[in-house]
Structure 1
Amino acid sequence: MNSYIPKYGCVRLAALLTLAAVGSACSTTQPTATTPTVAAAPNKFAADSTLRRIATLQDERRTAALLNYLLSPEPRYREQAALAFASVQDKAATGALNAHLNDPEASVRRAVAYALGQTADSTAEAALRQQVSTESNAAVRAEVLEALGKCTTRTGLPALVRLPTQLTADTAALTGQSWGLYRAALRGITSEPAVARLVQLLSKENPYSARLAAANALARTRSLDLTPYAASLATAAQTDPSYAVRGAAALALGKASHAPTMPALLATLARRDSDYRVRISALRAMNTAMYVQVKEAAWAALTDSNDQVALIAADFFLANASQEPGMLFLEKANKLTQWRVRATLLATALKQRSAEQAAIRQAVQERYTAAANAYEKGYLLKALGEDPAAYEFVRQATFASAQQLVVRTYGLEALVAMRHQPDFPAAQYASFALTLRQAAETGDVALLGIAAEALRDPKLNLRQLLPDLTFLQKAQAKLVLPRDLEAWQSVQQTLDFLQKQPATPTPVAVAASHPINWAVVSAIPANQRVVVRTGKGIITLQLLVEEAPGSVASFVELIRQGFYDGKNFHRVVPNFVAQGGCPRGDGWGSTDYNLRSELSNLHYGAGAVGLASAGKDTESCQWFITHAPTPHLDGRYTIFAQVVAGMDVVQRLEIGDPIERVELVR
């Protein structure tokens, strides 16, 4: 599916796994040098029907039946039932969960705290706040504080900012407080004292996880002016021993742009930091106001040894350059070999509206005609989207007979981008509207979804040009659910918007349509590994069957069918994710079933493997791998595996790289 992710606290997930090679009893692949044979370890569901029953009730979202297991005399069943509510997220269970914050078993209390945070019910705030002072277990206390951040109200935030006196030197409490403030900030709940506390938590004497949460909170919280904290942020961005903390702090420096030293500091980080992910963050923190001061560093980054850094440098110019000679960017682009960086610079050249516009446009069109790679063709159409004069060329390319799906998708997106250009000719408004109708009537799910999104864009004001929406309704009626859910959603949102109706609920597939295959789950060892053979090398994953049995079972079944063999990585966002598994190759493909989200208490660190979705309980076949800690994905996207070898390969992946084969190994 096109949206996801897709998606920190990497030490907690890393602690779950080791880099020791393990095997599988259900594999037919022979051992290789990269996958030595070891004994298979049965997973916890294999011989425990009660655990299977609880997981089934979770999958079926049956709150009342799950509540009964909270009363079980067996701690493992109470813990599993509590964790189930982290995925069910039914506020009807909040009262019972609050009561179990006093469970005699620490593991159960921690699971309850996590579930309460996932439910995000403000009525849990008082119980969680009380538990902070009375909890005896350090790990549980940290979990309670993080959950409090997910549930707190604005009036309750001060209690999270000021820890009880007895906890001010407790490292677990500091970590929990930092994550709690981060979770609250993601919900738009912050304050000046909260920001000041996060800056304090960024100091190197605090635990790594606390610094990680604090840096990310400062980087991701909207509408902050961090100029008063510029010195502290600069220290963290330059000296913290963790690349993940330095990178997030560098990104936060973009919010301290009024500090006169910021442009020079970001330029230095972009040139000199030893980790490419920090260099990317520094480039992303640069803005238009500092363009003149940092552009030399950005020019240098275009030839960085890491292609992802070079791409973000090109993105910087596309977003911030203005009134530059267009030919300058064309000449720079022609010297580059990385096609995605080159195409982005070509887009920048067209955006400048220079005297050589026609020549630049012709050069881009010639590159499109000569390109053999469908993804490069798509990116070149995307570049032409900067120039309304290329409208007819892009339109013809998009609707060319037997055009590749990937190119068609990029092409329509480019046409929509063109229409947003301020100099798009008014004389072509009607033609553009008819192009959208043509796209919708093709029945292609990507074209339909993109067209529907444009039709509801109030900036485009297309309603008067297409007053009869029957064509959209007919196109929607031909979609097959749940396979075409994302296109269905886009059309329905448009119909609701244009007809001024309340939002229609998304039709989520029930568990009965695709239940957990327990026969498959029972045969998957707890240490099952998977080898992903790509065009850049081999990536080895360890499946997390005990945390996400339904998702892992689906993945294993698709592997056995050869479903992923020959697919591509269709989405790569530098210092974020590499995503693949789409049967169409453009992000709009799916299977004929959906899965329910399995949101265990795992966190998106580097190499976490998650399932893409179009919303809760809509997962299918697409998956992504994170490049770095990505905490805003926590608790929103199922984590079903972890990279245990080949992370260097993940970092080299590019859009269009093939997934040659995916194999279960032993």
Structure 2
Amino acid sequence: MARLPAAVSAGFLLVSACVRSVPTPDVPPPQVEPSEVIARIQDWEDRRSMGGGELVRLATAAPEVAVRVRAFRALARIQDVATLDTVLSGLTAPDKAVRDEAAFAAGELAQSWEPLPEDARAALTEALVRAEATEADGWVRITLLESLGKLATPGAVEVLTARLSPASGPWSEAAATALGVAARKAGAAAVANIPLETIRALLKPRERSEVNLAGAYLLAASKRPDAVDALQSCLANGHPDVMALCVKGLGDVGSPRDWVALNLSLGDATPRVSAEAARALAKVAAKCEAGSPCHPLLALEGQVYRAKQVAEGKAAQGHALLAVAQQGLPLQGRPVLSRMRSALAEADRTAVSDEAHADLAWLDCRFAAAMDRQLGTLEQVLQCGYGRVPEARSLALGLHEVAQFKGQPTGAAFAVPYLNHVSPIVRGAALDALSERPVPEAMAPIRALIGGGDAVVAGLAAAAAGKLKDAEALTAVQALADRVPKEPDLAEAVAGALVALQGQAAEPRLREWLTHPHANVRRVAAESLTSLTGAPVRSARVELPPETYRPPAAPPGTTLTLRTRKGDITVLLDPDAPLTGGNLMALAKQGYFRGITFHRVVPDFVAQGGDPRGDGEGGPGYSIRCEMTRRPYARGTVGMALSGKDTGGSQFFFTHSPQPHLDGRYTAFGEVIQGMDVVDALLEGTIIDDVIVGTRAP
């Protein structure tokens, strides 16, 4: 700007001073309604913006409690370590609702997808421990305990252990659940010093089964070899979820001698309990001595009658069979797998519906793939499914299973021809097999796939080339890396390949990714650089541009009804996650889900669908931001599937049973209000005919 001449400048200053000295009317600033402020917060949150510092100011100084609470929720979802001091200051706020939301935000920081630096973890531990010790409100204190579990530091575990006693006390349930979460996050060793008798006390019969459930969750997560007797005792508990957890724990730490107790649970009428027992028997069968009778295998062979039940339309009975096939059996159990296939074929002749035929055919391929995993070669799946399972689906299943072969290491040369298969899910599965069991003749066709049009296959090929240390693939990998700015889903696979093939020379490109708008690209870059340099590297928060895609908000009371050939499932969307629910609502109105399957069903855990590819790698071509809610993952909760922070798309899942370790990690955006029996009956391949948008009557 040009400077004014001195005389003019002096005159201007004099006039300015006079103007400033004129009294002005005492007019208050215009009032902004709290609803308008909250709408601004929603906008900042979705763009991962601090609003020029305004979001922090509102969290700490807004006059309305509702605004401060909403601001802390936004900070929880943004998960920026730079806001740690603000979040910790909220733990001592005068209003309990603000303290509660700040405690939740602290837990979200504790389990950030990009791990916190050690000094931040220490500060968070100190503040949460101090706040928990002085908090007078019961609900806030429970939130603090939950956040300590998400943090899972030794100091957090110490406080939680102290709150386990007495078992009938006000904090035992929350503390036990939080310790189970800590064990899932930091490993069983994190809770190894908790006295076993303290945990056993939580399992004694009492009026509130929630305490038993929390104790069983902790006991199963702790994976203690000395807990076998305690796990066996709690199998007599009448609550299905308590029983399922104790069965799971026994499968992890038990031995073939525990087959009698597990066999009793195998006959339980609740599908998730019998499925967990079948999985546990498969686990302990792997510990049988070769050449000796293996009673767990005999118990599993007795389950062939379930094939007939599936044929009668009782698909939920297939969960026990699916659990065995997914877990796999030792080579000694091959006759059991063969017998299961025979029973399925026999039942197929009398199946009551096309849906029952489809379930039996897929279960046959599941058992065939389990047999192929035993020998590490593709054979049985080539002739499975009675001609009803599409070739691409059975081949992909078989290739993924043989990738898990645990026998004598040999190459997977048989997978090389499938790199040229017409189906991208088969090509991806072949890459999986060859990544685990590489052969030299795979290198050239893998290089060719890196430059292919299917982004998922290209990324998998780059990752495989990195594992194979194929230096000739570097040029193709670098070209694929050029696509990451516009195709962020490629980042993880490409980063691994760059580090493997370039070493330190990959650092400049990875540092560029530290400022990418997509949070998961930044996380991948930070983790790769940390591994590459040996020094901790973190990315910074990046504000998204205003034009970033934002789904429409789902109005309160919105329902989604999934129409399947097993029946309807109605979901009530959570108003606390309006954009996540609105995303699925918008996709449903477009007919997006018609013909898409539930591609992943893990009995007693989740049923997952919404992927147009059918292999867990697909989506709508964009991603949405996470909207973490306070809704716990109970039985029938609906969650958004993710591969990292802010990577939601079209894939969703239903939980069969409580899963506290998912709380605050994956957006929980609704609950099943009708059709939970249909959720229990879902098997892999169940087709969604349509999703209907509706409104729940007030």
Q: Relative to structure 1, is the Cα distance of residues 300 and 340 closer, same or farther in structure 2, using a 3 angstrom cutoff?
A: farther
Q: Does the CA-based 8 Å contact 1:566-1:661 persist in structure 2?
A: yes
1:142 Cα deviation after fit:
1.4
1:261 Cα deviation after fit:
4.8
Q: Relative to structure 1, is the Cα distance of residues 599 and 230 closer, same or farther in structure 2, using a 3 angstrom cutoff?
A: same
- Equivalent-residue separation in structure 1 for 2:195 and 2:628 (angstroms): 28
**Letter of the structure 2 residue corresponding to residue 409 of structure 1:** G
Q: Please say if 1:443 is aligned against 2:453.
A: yes
**Equivalent in the alignment of 1:183:** 181
**Equivalent in the alignment of 1:399:** 420
Note the alpha carbon deviations across 1:58-100, whole angstroms, 9 max, x for none: 2233343222122222111121122222212223333333333
Q: Please say if 1:65 is aligned against 2:54.
A: yes
Note the alpha carbon deviations across 1:520-551, whole angstroms, 9 max, x for none: 43xx4311111111232211111113x11222
Q: Relative to structure 1, is the Cα distance of residues 231 and 206 closer, same or farther in structure 2, using a 3 angstrom cutoff?
A: farther
1:158 Cα deviation after fit:
2.4
1 or 2, which has the higher helix percentage? 2
- Matched position secondary structure for 1:307: helix
1:56 counterpart (43, 46, 49)? 43
TM-score (norm 1): 0.79
- Equivalent-residue separation in structure 1 for 2:638 and 2:162 (angstroms): 35
**Equivalent in the alignment of 1:543:** 573
- Matched position secondary structure for 2:598: strand
Q: Where does the alignment leave 5 or more consecutive residues of structure 1 unmatched? A: 1-45, 421-428
**Letter of the structure 2 residue corresponding to residue 282 of structure 1:** A
- Matched position secondary structure for 1:186: helix
Q: Please say if 1:77 is aligned against 2:43.
A: no
**Equivalent in the alignment of 1:21:** none
Q: Where does the alignment leave 5 or more consecutive residues of structure 2 unmatched? A: 1-32, 111-120, 310-316, 349-359, 519-542
Q: Relative to structure 1, is the Cα distance of residues 277 and 327 closer, same or farther in structure 2, using a 3 angstrom cutoff?
A: closer
**Equivalent in the alignment of 1:454:** 464
**Equivalent in the alignment of 1:3:** none
- Matched position secondary structure for 1:609: strand
Alignment of 1:414-453 (within 5 A): 414-416=433-435, 419=437, 429-453=439-463
Moved more, 284-293 or 138-147: 284-293
**Equivalent in the alignment of 1:512:** 545
1:149 Cα deviation after fit:
2.5
Q: Does the CA-based 8 Å contact 1:58-1:87 persist in structure 2?
A: yes
Q: Does the CA-based 8 Å contact 1:433-1:466 persist in structure 2?
A: no
1:55 Cα deviation after fit:
1.9
**Equivalent in the alignment of 2:20:** none
Alignment of 1:314-463 (within 5 A): 314-316=325-327, 318-322=328-332, 324=334, 331=342, 334-335=345-346, 337=348, 338-351=360-373, 361=379, 364-367=381-384, 370-373=387-390, 374-382=392-400, 394-400=415-421, 403-416=422-435, 419=437, 429-457=439-467, 462-463=468-469
- Equivalent-residue separation in structure 2 for 1:138 and 1:631 (angstroms): 20
- Equivalent-residue separation in structure 1 for 2:151 and 2:484 (angstroms): 38
Q: Relative to structure 1, is the Cα distance of residues 367 and 313 closer, same or farther in structure 2, using a 3 angstrom cutoff?
A: closer
Q: Does the CA-based 8 Å contact 2:132-2:141 persist in structure 1?
A: yes
Alignment of 1:19-30 (within 5 A): none
Larger radius of gyration: 2
Q: Please say if 1:225 is aligned against 2:220.
A: no
**Equivalent in the alignment of 1:294:** 296
Note the alpha carbon deviations across 1:93-142, whole angstroms, 9 max, x for none: 33333333233333222211111122124313233223333322222221
1:630 Cα deviation after fit:
1.6
- Matched position secondary structure for 1:663: strand
1:278 counterpart (269, 273, 276)? 273
1:310 counterpart (310, 321, 324)? 321
1:637 counterpart (666, 669, 681)? 666
Q: Relative to structure 1, is the Cα distance of residues 641 and 516 closer, same or farther in structure 2, using a 3 angstrom cutoff?
A: farther
**Letter of the structure 2 residue corresponding to residue 530 of structure 1:** L
Q: Please say if 1:263 is aligned against 2:259.
A: yes
1:637 Cα deviation after fit:
0.8
Q: Does the CA-based 8 Å contact 1:534-1:658 persist in structure 2?
A: yes
- Matched position secondary structure for 1:172: coil
**Letter of the structure 1 residue corresponding to residue 382 of structure 2:** Q
- Equivalent-residue separation in structure 1 for 2:474 and 2:669 (angstroms): 41
1:410 Cα deviation after fit:
3.6
Q: Does the CA-based 8 Å contact 2:132-2:144 persist in structure 1?
A: yes
2:623 counterpart (586, 594, 608)? 594
Q: Please say if 1:252 is aligned against 2:249.
A: yes
Q: Please say if 1:533 is aligned against 2:563.
A: yes
- Higher RCO, 1 or 2 (CA under 8 Å, sep at least 6)? 1
Q: Please say if 1:561 is aligned against 2:572.
A: no
Note the alpha carbon deviations across 1:229-282, whole angstroms, 9 max, x for none: 22222122x222321121111111134425x85222122212x22211112222
1:662 Cα deviation after fit:
1.5
Q: Does the CA-based 8 Å contact 1:102-1:109 persist in structure 2?
A: yes
Q: Please say if 1:486 is aligned against 2:496.
A: no
1:575 counterpart (565, 590, 604)? 604
- Matched position secondary structure for 1:192: coil
Q: Relative to structure 1, is the Cα distance of residues 627 and 587 closer, same or farther in structure 2, using a 3 angstrom cutoff?
A: same
- Matched position secondary structure for 2:689: strand
- Matched position secondary structure for 1:569: coil
Q: Relative to structure 1, is the Cα distance of residues 653 and 329 closer, same or farther in structure 2, using a 3 angstrom cutoff?
A: closer
Q: Relative to structure 1, is the Cα distance of residues 334 and 341 closer, same or farther in structure 2, using a 3 angstrom cutoff?
A: same
**Equivalent in the alignment of 1:93:** 83
- Equivalent-residue separation in structure 2 for 1:213 and 1:495 (angstroms): 44
1:432 Cα deviation after fit:
2.1
Q: Relative to structure 1, is the Cα distance of residues 186 and 378 closer, same or farther in structure 2, using a 3 angstrom cutoff?
A: closer
- Equivalent-residue separation in structure 2 for 1:379 and 1:151 (angstroms): 37
Q: Relative to structure 1, is the Cα distance of residues 210 and 147 closer, same or farther in structure 2, using a 3 angstrom cutoff?
A: farther
**Equivalent in the alignment of 2:105:** 115
Q: Does the CA-based 8 Å contact 2:597-2:610 persist in structure 1?
A: yes
1:638 Cα deviation after fit:
0.9
**Equivalent in the alignment of 1:157:** 157
1:331 Cα deviation after fit:
4.8
Q: Does the CA-based 8 Å contact 2:361-2:388 persist in structure 1?
A: no
1:350 Cα deviation after fit:
3.8
- Matched position secondary structure for 2:287: helix
1:239 counterpart (236, 240, 263)? 236
- Matched position secondary structure for 2:171: helix
Q: Relative to structure 1, is the Cα distance of residues 644 and 47 closer, same or farther in structure 2, using a 3 angstrom cutoff?
A: farther
- Equivalent-residue separation in structure 1 for 2:123 and 2:457 (angstroms): 44
Note the alpha carbon deviations across 1:189-242, whole angstroms, 9 max, x for none: 323226653343333338433433332233234xx4332x22222122x22232
- Equivalent-residue separation in structure 2 for 1:414 and 1:570 (angstroms): 19
Q: Relative to structure 1, is the Cα distance of residues 508 and 647 closer, same or farther in structure 2, using a 3 angstrom cutoff?
A: farther
Q: Relative to structure 1, is the Cα distance of residues 395 and 255 closer, same or farther in structure 2, using a 3 angstrom cutoff?
A: closer
Q: Once superposed, what is the RMSD of the aligned Cα atoms?
A: 3.4
1:395 Cα deviation after fit:
4.2
Q: Does the CA-based 8 Å contact 2:601-2:607 persist in structure 1?
A: yes
**Letter of the structure 2 residue corresponding to residue 315 of structure 1:** Q
1:454 Cα deviation after fit:
2.9
- Equivalent-residue separation in structure 2 for 1:432 and 1:408 (angstroms): 12
- Equivalent-residue separation in structure 2 for 1:334 and 1:413 (angstroms): 30
* Identical residues among aligned pairs (%): 27
Q: How many residues align?
A: 585
Q: Relative to structure 1, is the Cα distance of residues 47 and 527 closer, same or farther in structure 2, using a 3 angstrom cutoff?
A: farther
Moved more, 383-392 or 260-269: 383-392
- Equivalent-residue separation in structure 1 for 2:425 and 2:616 (angstroms): 9
Q: Does the CA-based 8 Å contact 1:226-1:256 persist in structure 2?
A: yes
- Equivalent-residue separation in structure 1 for 2:248 and 2:197 (angstroms): 17
Q: Relative to structure 1, is the Cα distance of residues 618 and 350 closer, same or farther in structure 2, using a 3 angstrom cutoff?
A: closer
1:571 Cα deviation after fit:
2.0
Moved more, 56-65 or 571-580: 56-65
Q: Does the CA-based 8 Å contact 2:240-2:270 persist in structure 1?
A: yes
